[in-house]
Structure formats: structure tokens, C-alpha cells
Amino acid sequence: MIRNRSRGRTGQQNRNAQNGDSLKSEVSGKNINSSDARAFSGHLKSMLDLIREESGNSPDIVIRQFEIGEPASRQADAAVVFLNGLSDERTINNVVMRSLIEFKPDPNLVTDPDRLMETILNEALASGDCSIHMDWKDMLLSVLSGDTVILLEGCEKALVISTPGGEWRAVTEPSSQLVVRGPKDSFVESIGINISLIRRRIKNPDLWLETMKIGTVSHTHVGIMYLKSLADENLVEEVKRRLHAIKIEAVLESAYIEEFIQDETFTPFPTVFNTERPDVAAGNLLEGRIVLLVDGTPFVLILPTVFAHFFQSPEDYAQRYDITILMRLIRYISFIILLLGPSVYIALTTFHYEMIPSLLLISFVAQREGVPFPAFVEAMLMEVAFEILREAGVRMPRAIGQTVSIVGALILGQAVVEAGIITPVMVIVVALTGIASFALPAYNLSIAGRLIRFCFMVLGGMFGFYGITLGLIALVAHMNSLRSFGVPYLAPLSPFVMQSQKDTILRLPFWTLNNRSRKIGNHKTNIEKAEEIAPLGRPGQQDGSGGNRQ
Amino acid sequence: MVQKRTKTAAFLALAFLIIITSGCWDARELNRRAIVSGIGIDRSKEGFLVSLQVIIADEISGKIGRGGTPTSVYSASGRSVVEAMRNVSLKVPRLISTAQTRMVVISEEVAREGISGIVDFLDRDSDLRLSTQLYVARKGTRALDIVSAITPLGRITAYALVQKTELAANELGANFSLEIDDVIRGLLAPGGGPVMNGLNILGDLKKSGDKSNLERTNAQGVVIIDDMAIFKGDKLVGWMDLEECKGLVWAMNKMKKTVVVVKDETDHEEITMDVFETSTATKVDISNPLKPVIQLRVKPQISIREAGTSTDLRDPRVLAKIEEKANKVIAAKLEGAVAKAQGLKSDIFYFGQQIERQNPKVWSRISGQWEAIYPTIEVRCEVESIIRNTQMRDRSYKYNIKSK
């Protein structure tokens, strides 16, 4: 028996080595992959021993053995296997166990375990989601995902009953993407709950869900959701292809997946959108985008995305359109301030004093008298100090966070000016830049801006506006070269799509937007041919210039 | 593969070195600059005496001021303006930065000898703006005195003067802003020349640059905008008086607002009016090429500001009479200005260019003789003023006294 199994495993290894298939690949250590059908030996005791052996005799795997049938007549040996903590014990007790114990089968049936299992499935179990598994590995994985498995003596199959349970964080208000008006729920760490949150918003059979498991060790559930009639078929295929190509041991956050499937790694700009808000996910589904849900994180991925997407907040659709237009403009302006604020100040004071209005210049000069550092060093000091403060503020326990902001913002800012080390204007510029970075609805774009800001400061400090202009040209060229699943990153602006302008920088009233495929539908024309989309993680492509778009 | 990577690395390193080694171009911190607000140019034994009004920013807005004057004047001589400015650096510890200069004063002495060299410097310099205003300091006052003056309102004299010029142009209409490019345009006009605002110091010349000048409510030396200087080519040839200045501004279509006073015939009291909107159209009649006739058509819109009469200003016939009188007064100003310019033989109104624009063929024939023709041409002024309003009252309170 054991000999058989081990031979099967080696065979498996050989096959893996040959075809290099990622999803079924072998991982050393805990092996739950002996998917050989012979593992279902039909011998209950050896099957249970195998389960115990493969899980290292973990105490949280509960194996309950019992007999089916009336005690007077013949009985069949059976066992229930579940994972303590992940499965719902009440369901197991009330539904599974009770059904089995109260089940009084025809004595003839007991001799035929296969028919007995089917009868249990069809007649005894008072549970909605159950199925018969033939695959040992699948069976084990479902136990580890919180399902309950019934094994019968002499039967080479397993009956799997869905009994999800365990503790999850309750659905709470989102912590990163807040709105004044709009839904207040947020995704949680359970993919099941997350899917239900989206389904609750779009009650339509057209909303398709496909799941897969990624992570050779973690076997994380990943769901692909899209509206069949709106999403581009090629895009769905491409997403699936890229997901299948992922080789990773564990997926603990959707960012792990994002890094594998994004078109361009060497860019500060995010090319996959993420959100923890179900309403945003639903809204994007309705625009024909694809939503990727990853078990264990409240952040879902949305793709394809464009640059303008990161300036949109769910609140844009909850407030009046004219106010929304103003708010969006302010977000774009704050992004520009974030990128260029300190660098423009440096360039103005060290190169282009003639461009400063005279009276303002006098004030600048007066402040600079006696300040020991050049403007560039001054700006760098302040920006770095600000980044330290921010990092400290984010990681600090919430109770201390207040103190940090008081010490940082008030005392440090005040003292540094009074000591004559930094000019007050610099403090204003840095503070404005910092606040501007918070005005962006997307955190990942704001950190991208913070990074690029330092490059611009160097350029501004070395070459003035000339350097900043060159930097901007390079930046726009780079952004133009970016693609998010084939969609040009600056899409509705470059290439220009008139139809999409209604909801890019502007947000016109809803009745003008009632074109169903109002965003991605137009991008479809822009999606480049499938072969042009850079293949990811595919060996042999990395050195080729064709797939490498930098 | 490896080779390619090495190449890429080498390229990146080179690109990085280019940035690093090229240094910071022409970076200069603000506290390494001496910011010049005004330049004065006088005659000296060597050639030019250039005086620079440098802003002392600490004294204006800093917390660490030492109670000194808001500006400081550094001057030095040289054979040319640039040489003199280089010589100034013996006295100034910082880079002389002229991009924020708004005022250049030339003394009458220098102006009478010719300003072409100075204007070329102002035009050529990359720092100086073409929007810098040019002035002539009237005889008896040196450009240095103007640049050194301290004014109670506005800490930087040069900026205060430019503001004064603009305000006076908008309120009184006896001058208008003249920037370097305006002057260059004037220098280029055939048979003409630029005009420039004059500057003078009213009161004590020596006290005007003293800090004690600020300590009295009635400042002892005040820089004022004086009459306008007329150039022929690049040389100053004469000055207009106040009324002629208004006519000059009007004829050049630069008038924004001015005041007109007429005598009322009923009780011989003065009626003062504001011209709040006016335009001047110049037309040339060249039926006889050697005797061109220039038509200046002025359309002022008037508002009555002060009436010492009991006249009923509601009566359109009365208003028409007042308009008639205003027309005459305004026409007289224009004619006076034109006559003065013709007397000085300087085509400051660009009549020659008007002819060229309207009929280039005729101009090419007469341009050689333009110097001779210009003083003899006839200039007709047609003024059609309209009284638009009488402000808050229609009749004066005197009207009620009389009617009782």
C-alpha cells in the first residue's frame, strides 16, 4: 500500500519535472499532493492513517469514526473528517452528524459502499452543498478549507460537505477609502463574504465568477468576477492566462498577484487598481472591468485600469456632478503639487529669481538671509523629515500617533524655523505637498507621486525649470508607454476618446452617462492585439526585446 | 546577455555621470544675490556714473533687520554702462542681479548727449526686462539722487515710482508708462524719437536720501513725476509742459482718464469733468503727398464731477453747450502738443509711420523729405465729446436756491 503510494509520488515528481506545470507542481515539506487515485484504497483505516500521516497528526484535524445502519443489522464503518476551527461545528453536529446517525439504510445497501455513499448524498444529508470527490488531493484540500469529508469503508470516494465556518472579521467601515456619502461597508478577509457583497449589489446571472487556487503552498482561493456581456472576452482569457502562469508559494495579499500580472514592473505607477469597497468593485464590473478577489485580504484587484481611474472616488457619483468636477480638478491639481511643489520652489529660488514677483522675492530673500543650506538641501531635509514623520505616524499604535503628529508638525516645524535652519516658505511648501498627497483617493498613486517628487527635486536643483521640463517630458513619455492589460495607461486622453471624456476629468450628469459600456467599451478599440500584450513570467521571453516595454 | 547587461550598466553610469559632473548649471541661492530695483545713469569724468539701488530684504520683511534703510545705493564710474556696473562689484559682496529692475533713470545731461548706447545695453542684457521703465531726471537733479531717494509710501523707491507713474497715467493722464521696448520703437521711427517721463525731486535734494525724510509727515524731499521729455533720434531736445503732456498722451491714444475744466457762461463758474473713456483715431489724407493732412478724431466720454453753477444739467441743450466747450479745450491741448513736437522737429506721434501704413508708395516717395515735411504738415483735431453722466446729482444745490 505504502509502496504503491510512494511510487506514485515519484512518478508525479517526474511528470512535474518534465512539463513544469505550475499549479500541480511539487512542493517539498507538507505534501498534500499525492493525488494518486490509489490513495483511496477503500480501506478506511489506512485512509485515515494516511490523512493523519500527511497532516503530521495535527490535532486540529478531527477524525470521528462511527457506524452507519441499525445496530441490530449489518453496519458500515464510516468516518467524518473536518478541520477544527475552520469549519462550522454547529453545522457539522446538527446537520452532518445527525443526518448520518439518524440514517437507517436498507441493510442490503450497507454491503455496497458506493451505492451507500450515493444514497447518503441523495437521501440522508440535509445540506445544500455536497459532492463526491474522487481525487485524494482535492479531498484533503477541502478538509483544509473547512469542508467536512465522509469516508466509507470499502469506498474509493469521499463525500465532501461544505461546512464553512471559523472566525472572520465582521464587515466594517472601510479604513482606507472613506466617503462622506455612500455605502459604508468594506470587504473582509473572506473571499466568500466578499463575493456575496458584490453579488448583493449586482443581482444578475450575467455576473460570472470563476475561481482558482494560486500558491503551491498556500492554495489561496482567487476569484475572477466579470459581467459576461460587458467584459472583453480576450481580456478575460488574458487574465486567466496570466493567473495560471503565476509561480508563487503563497499569496497573502492581492499585491502578490498584482505584481505577477501587471504589464510593467519597472514603473512607479500602479497599473492595477485596488479597492476595499464593494461599491467600487461593483461599479467597475458594470464598466466592463474584471475584479480579482483574493482570499485573505479585503483588497480586491480591478483591471484594466487607466491613470484617470486613480483620481476617481466613489463619492464622485454620490455628490452633485458640478461639485464632483471641482473635486476631481482639485485632485489633479494636488497631484501636480505633489509632484512638482518642492522642485518648482527650488528651481525658482536657485535659478529663476526673475520669475518670482518682486515683493514675494523680497520676502523670500529676507527669509533666506542667514539660512545655512542651499534650497535643495533644505527641501531634501524637510521632505525626508516629513516622510519619516509620515512613516512613523502610519506604523505607530494609534494612541501614540497623535503625539507624533503634534511633536512632528507643531514642535519640529516651529523649532526648525525659529532656529533659522529652514525658511518658513519651505515649511509651507513641504506641508502643502504633504497635504496634497493625502488629497488623492488612491494611496498607491500618492506614494508613486511621493517617489517621483524626489527625482524632480534633483532635476530642479540641478537644472532648474529646464530639468523639470525634461523630467516631465520623460514622465509623460513613460506613462504613455504603460499598458494595463493592453489598455494605454493615459487612455481616454491619449489616445483621445471623446466618448469617455464625460466621465474622466469631468463627471457629467448621470443621464448623459447612460451608455452602458461607457468606459471599457470604448477602450476595447484601444486594446492592442493579444500577441502584443507582454507575456508575463514566461521563460525565454525575459531577454527578448519584444515583450519588454521599457 | 551578460555583455548586453554590462553595456546597459555602462550606459546608465555614463548618463548618471553626465548629470552629476555637469554641476548645477547657473544655480545661485537667493542670499548670494544683490537684487537691483533701480538703475541711475549720470555723466562722470570717465564716462558714466552708474548707481544701483539694491534691495536690503532684511530691512523690509525680515525679522533680523538692523533698522537700516530699505535700499542701499552703490555707484561706480566707467567708460560704458557695463564697465561701470562691473566696477560696482568692488563695493557689492553679492552678484548684481538686475532681473527685478523696474526703473532706469537717465540724467538730462546724458540724455541730451544721446542714449543709443544705454538703450542697446538695456535691450541686449539677458537679465533686464524690456518692461523696465525709462525716465529722465531733470536738470539739477542727478539720477543718483533719484535712485537714492527714500519715499514714505512704498519702501523701495524704484517700485514706488513705477507705481506712481502708472497711477498718474490712470488718474491724471499727463504721462504714460514708457518701457524699454517703447523707447526702442520710438528710436526706430523715421524722423521721430521716443518720449520719456521726467523725474524731479521736490524739496530738499539732500534730505530725500536721508532716513530722516521718513520722520516727518511732510517729507522734505519727494520724487515726483515731471513733464515728458521729447527726443529727436536718441537725443533729448525739449520738454512738454503739463497741458501739452496731456495733449501728447491723447494724441498717442494712451489717454485713460483725465480732467477737463471749462467755464460755464451763465454765472462764470467752473465746471470740472472727468474723461473716463476716450479713444483717438488717426487718419491721414495724402491727396497732396507733399502736404499730408493728419486728422485726429477724439471721442471722449465725460462725466461731470464738480459744478459750481446753478445751470440745470438735466437740459440736453445745456449739456451740448458744455460738450462744445470741452471739445475746444481738448482740441487746444492736442494742438499744443503737436505744435510743440513740430517745433522740435521730432515726429514723436509716428505720423510718418501712419502714412507708410496707409500708402506705402507715397511714403517711399516722400520718406527722404520727411524731415522737411513734418514740421509743415497740417494736423486737424476733431473732438466729439459726450457727457455720459453727472454722477450722483443732476443739478447743483445752487439750482434750488436760484429757483426759490
**Inter-chain touch B60–A366, beta carbons under 8 Å:** yes
Total residues belonging to chain B: 404
Strands B103-107 and B133-137: parallel
3-class SS shares of chain A: helix, strand, coil, % to 5 = 50, 10, 35
B19 confidence band (pLDDT: 50, 70, 90): confident
**Inter-chain touch B30–A349, beta carbons under 8 Å:** yes
**Residue range A405-429: average pLDDT?**
84
> Measuring CA to CA, which residue among A223, A201, A215, A268 is closest to residue A24?
A215
| Dihedral sign for Cα atoms in the order B393, B395, B397, B400 | negative
Rounded CA separation B300/B249 (Å): 13
**Inter-chain touch B31–A463, beta carbons under 8 Å:** no
What is the value of ipTM here, to two decimals?
0.85
Burial class (CB in 10 A: 0-12, 13-18, 19+), A374: buried
Say whether residue A358 is in contact with chain B using an 8 A CB cutoff: yes
Asked, as a colleague might, if the bond just before A495 is cis with ω within 30 of 0, I would say: yes
Residue B79 identity: R
**Inter-chain touch B27–A466, beta carbons under 8 Å:** no
Rounded CA separation B335/B277 (Å): 20
Asked, as a colleague might, if the bond just before B292 is cis with ω within 30 of 0, I would say: no
For residue A371, which residues of chain B lie inside 8 Å, CB to CB? Answer: 31
The domain segmentation of chain B, as residue ranges, is: 30-239, 242-404
3-state secondary structure of A44: helix
Indicate if the pLDDT at residue A37 is higher than 80: no
Indicate if the pLDDT at residue A352 is higher than 60: yes
For residue A375, which residues of chain B lie inside 8 Å, CB to CB? Answer: 29-30
Strands A207-214 and A220-227: antiparallel
For residue A461, which residues of chain B lie inside 8 Å, CB to CB? Answer: 24, 27
The per-residue pLDDT for B23 is: 66
pLDDT tens for B377-393 read 999 999 999 999 888 88
Q: Could you tell me which chain B residue has the CA closest to the CA of A362? A: B57
Indicate if the pLDDT at residue A28 is higher than 60: no
Q: Could you tell me which chain B residue has the CA closest to the CA of A351? A: B27
**Residue range B100-115: average pLDDT?**
94
**Residue range B160-187: average pLDDT?**
92
Q: Could you tell me which chain A residue has the CA closest to the CA of B102? A: A358
- Among A298-302, A359-363, A417-421, the minimum mean pLDDT is found in A417-421
For residue B35, which residues of chain A lie inside 8 Å, CB to CB? Answer: 353, 361-362, 365
The per-residue pLDDT for A531 is: 34
For residue A358, which residues of chain B lie inside 8 Å, CB to CB? Answer: 37, 100, 102, 159
Q: Where are the alpha helices (DSSP H) in A311-423?
A: 321-350, 358-368, 375-395, 398-405, 413-418
Kindly provide the b/e burial profile for residues B385-397, where b requires at least 16 CB atoms within 10 angstroms of the residue's own CB. Answer: bebeebeeeebbe
HSE-up (13 A, CA, CB side) for residue B286: 21
Indicate if the pLDDT at residue A27 is higher than 50: no
Q: What angle do CA B310, B311, B313 make, to 5 degrees?
A: 125
- Among A149-158, A317-326, A394-403, B291-300, the minimum mean pLDDT is found in A394-403
Rounded CA separation A125/A103 (Å): 9
**Inter-chain touch A369–B62, beta carbons under 8 Å:** yes
Q: What angle do CA A353, A356, A360 make, to 5 degrees?
A: 115
Indicate if the pLDDT at residue A346 is higher than 80: yes
**Cβ–Cβ < 8 Å for B250, B330:** yes
Q: Could you tell me which chain B residue has the CA closest to the CA of A373? A: B29
**Cβ–Cβ < 8 Å for A51, A62:** no
% of residues, chain A, pLDDT over 90: 31
> Measuring CA to CA, which residue among A462, A325, A352, A71 is closest to residue B24?
A462
Q: How many of the other CB atoms lie within 10 Å of CB of B365? A: 12
**Cβ–Cβ < 8 Å for A80, A132:** no
Task: Count helices and strands (H / E) in chain A.
Answer: 19, 12
> Measuring CA to CA, which residue among B100, B126, B19, B31 is closest to residue A350?
B31
- Among A473-482, A510-519, B12-21, B347-356, the minimum mean pLDDT is found in A510-519
Say whether residue A537 is in contact with chain B using an 8 A CB cutoff: no
Indicate if the pLDDT at residue A405 is higher than 80: no
The three three-digit cell numbers of residue A542, written as one number = 525575459
Give the nearest partner residue to B29 out of A363, A374, A462, using CB atoms.
Answer: A374
B-interface mutation test, from A351, A352, A358, A421, most B Cβ less than 10 A away: A358
**Inter-chain touch A375–B29, beta carbons under 8 Å:** yes
Give the nearest partner residue to A366 out of B33, B58, B99, using CB atoms.
Answer: B58
C-alpha pair distances (Å), A444 with each of A268, A273, A538, B72: 9, 9, 27, 52
Give the nearest partner residue to B19 out of A370, A462, A543, using CB atoms.
Answer: A462
The per-residue pLDDT for A536 is: 35
The per-residue pLDDT for A158 is: 86
- Among A155-164, A231-240, A537-546, the minimum mean pLDDT is found in A537-546
The domain segmentation of chain A, as residue ranges, is: 30-161, 191-309, 317-481
Say whether residue A365 is in contact with chain B using an 8 A CB cutoff: yes
The per-residue pLDDT for A546 is: 33
**Residue range B23-27: average pLDDT?**
72
Indicate if the pLDDT at residue A104 is higher than 70: yes
Q: Could you tell me which chain A residue has the CA closest to the CA of B29? A: A350
Q: Considering chain B, what is the average pLDDT of its residues?
A: 89
> Measuring CA to CA, which residue among B103, B107, B126 is closest to residue B115?
B107
Indicate if the pLDDT at residue A58 is higher than 90: no
Interface residues of chain B, partner chain A, Cβ below 8 Å: 1, 4, 19, 22-31, 33, 35, 37, 55, 57-58, 60-62, 64, 97, 99-100, 102, 127, 129, 156, 159
Question: Could you tell me which residue, A68 or A253, shows the higher pLDDT?
Answer: A253
- The minimum CA-CA distance between B201 and chain A, rounded to whole Å, is 25
The three three-digit cell numbers of residue A318, written as one number = 454620490
Strands A148-152 and A76-83: antiparallel
pLDDT tens for B50-90 read 999 999 988 887 677 777 888 999 999 999 999 999 999 89
Rounded CA separation A166/A86 (Å): 4
A-interface mutation test, from B7, B11, B31, B159, most A Cβ less than 10 A away: B31
% of residues, chain A, pLDDT over 70: 86
B397 confidence band (pLDDT: 50, 70, 90): confident
The per-residue pLDDT for B41 is: 95
The per-residue pLDDT for A6 is: 38
Give the nearest partner residue to A350 out of B28, B35, B64, using CB atoms.
Answer: B28
Residue B335 identity: E
Rounded CA separation B387/B278 (Å): 12
Say whether residue A362 is in contact with chain B using an 8 A CB cutoff: yes
**Inter-chain touch B35–A362, beta carbons under 8 Å:** yes
The three three-digit cell numbers of residue A259, written as one number = 505584481
Task: Count helices and strands (H / E) in chain B.
Answer: 14, 14
pLDDT tens for A440-490 read 989 999 999 999 999 999 999 988 999 999 999 999 999 999 999 888 999
Q: How many of the other CB atoms lie within 10 Å of CB of A214? A: 23
Q: Could you tell me which chain A residue has the CA closest to the CA of B33? A: A365
Residue B354 has φ and ψ, to the nearest 5°, of -60, -45
The per-residue pLDDT for B62 is: 67
A-interface mutation test, from B2, B17, B18, B30, most A Cβ less than 10 A away: B30
* CATH fold of B242-404: GMP Synthetase; Chain A, domain 3 (3.30.300)
